[in-house]
Amino acid sequence: MCRRPLSGGKGTIKQHQPTKSNPAGETSEEFYERLAGVIREDQPYYFMRWTVDVTKNDVARFEMECLQPILQELCECMRE
């Protein structure tokens, strides 16, 4: 699940636009500081943790299917 404070729903935040009482509006720096505050207030909502078990077979499969082919490609590129 992904939480995005700029996409609508809970925690939605938009940069304050210029108004009569605040003709300059909100600077990007002010906006991002306010956004950081919203996230800080409810960290568990925005950041989740999962326990993921990685087996020796998972590591071996990654090595054979991903790591070794990438390293082989790099070695071939270095020879050229």
Instruction: Tell if the pTM clears 0.75, that is, is over it.
Output: no
Q: How far apart are CA 66 and CA 50, in angstroms?
A: 24
Task: For residues 29 and 68, state if they share a domain.
Answer: no
Domain that holds residue 72: 52-80
Task: For residues 42 and 11, state if they share a domain.
Answer: yes
Q: How far apart are CA 70 and CA 62, in angstroms?
A: 11
Task: For residues 42 and 61, state if they share a domain.
Answer: no
Task: For residues 43 and 69, state if they share a domain.
Answer: no
Ordered per-residue pLDDT tens for the chain, 80 residues: 556 666 666 667 888 888 898 889 899 999 999 989 988 998 888 888 889 999 999 999 999 999 999 999 999 988 87
Task: For residues 2 and 36, state if they share a domain.
Answer: yes
H or E segment to which residue 29 belongs: helix 28-41
Task: For residues 5 and 41, state if they share a domain.
Answer: yes
pLDDT of res. 1: 52
Task: For residues 13 and 39, state if they share a domain.
Answer: yes
Task: For residues 63 and 44, state if they share a domain.
Answer: no
Instruction: Specify whether the CB–CB gap between 15 and 26 falls below 8 A.
Output: yes
pLDDT of res. 7: 65
- Number of folded domains in the chain? 2
Q: How far apart are CA 12 and CA 4, in angstroms?
A: 8
